[in-house]
């Protein structure tokens, strides 16, 4: 009985550490520029749908990539006319991003950066972690959308 309890407690500890990691990484990812000023609710919702409806991590990668690539094509045409980058073509803020928000999103999903590239988590667990990560990102986005550019008050010491 005590072995079962110890195993359960270890699993719970690992889960809580992973949740802290996913929340911290979601906040860092969000701060790269995945904010209401740069992306519309429908764009964020479409990514959310791709992530939560797909049956496997590979399906998520394909669905998000297809969506982003279609969006980027349209945005490139708009950029030719206006000379301005918009939404998925906007350069991320600070370090940790690629050349655009769209490329950054694809990189984080494809390379597993939401888990700090942890190979210990595999298969369906990676998909589950991605869904939890994106739910955190999307929650931060929706909070800021509702409260008009005010960031969610997250205590730094809990995420460090």
Q: Which phi-psi region, left, alpha or beta, contains residue 117 (left: φ > 0; alpha: ψ -120 to 50)?
A: left
The answer to whether the beta carbons of residues 48 and 97 sit under 8 Å apart is no
Query: What is the tally of structural domains in the chain?
Result: 1
- pLDDT at position 149 is 61
- pLDDT at position 154 is 57
Mean pLDDT by runs of 10 across the 160 residues of the chain is 74 74 92 92 96 95 98 92 88 81 95 80 84 94 80 53
- pLDDT at position 116 is 83
- pLDDT at position 147 is 80
The answer to whether the beta carbons of residues 15 and 125 sit under 8 Å apart is no
**Among the listed residues 15, 29, 19, the one whose alpha carbon sits nearest the alpha carbon of residue 138:** 29
3-state secondary structure of 24: helix
- pLDDT at position 157 is 47
Output the pTM of the full model. 0.81
Instruction: Give the burial class of 30: count Cβ atoms within 10 A of its Cβ; 0-12 exposed, 13-18 middle, 19 or more buried.
Output: buried
* CB neighbours of residue 129 within 10 Å: 21
The answer to whether the beta carbons of residues 124 and 105 sit under 8 Å apart is no
Give the torsion sign (CA, 10, 118, 99, 84): negative
State how far the Cα of 153 lies from the Cα of 23, in Å rounded to an integer: 13
- pLDDT at position 20 is 86
Q: Which two tokens stand for residue 82?
A: 């206006």
State how far the Cα of 44 lies from the Cα of 38, in Å rounded to an integer: 10
3-state secondary structure of 62: helix
81: domain range?
Answer: 2-159
């Amino acid at each position: 009985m005590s072995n079962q309890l110890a195993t359960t407690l270890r699993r719970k500890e690992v889960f809580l550490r992973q949740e802290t990691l996913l929340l911290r990484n979601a906040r860092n990812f969000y701060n790269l520029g995945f904010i209401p000023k740069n992306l519309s609710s429908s764009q964020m919702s479409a990514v959310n749908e791709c992530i939560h409806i797909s049956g496997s991590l590979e399906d998520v990668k394909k669905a998000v990539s297809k969506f982003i690539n279609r969006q980027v094509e349209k945005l490139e045409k708009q950029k030719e006319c206006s000379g301005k980058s918009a939404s998925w073509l906007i350069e991320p803020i600070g370090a940790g991003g690629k050349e655009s928000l769209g490329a950054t999103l694809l990189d984080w999903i494809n390379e597993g950066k939401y888990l700090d590239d942890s190979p210990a988590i595999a298969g369906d667990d990676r998909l589950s972690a991605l869904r939890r990560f994106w739910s955190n990102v999307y929650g931060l986005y929706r909070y800021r959308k509702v409260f008009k550019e005010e960031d969610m008050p997250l205590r730094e010491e809990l995420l460090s």
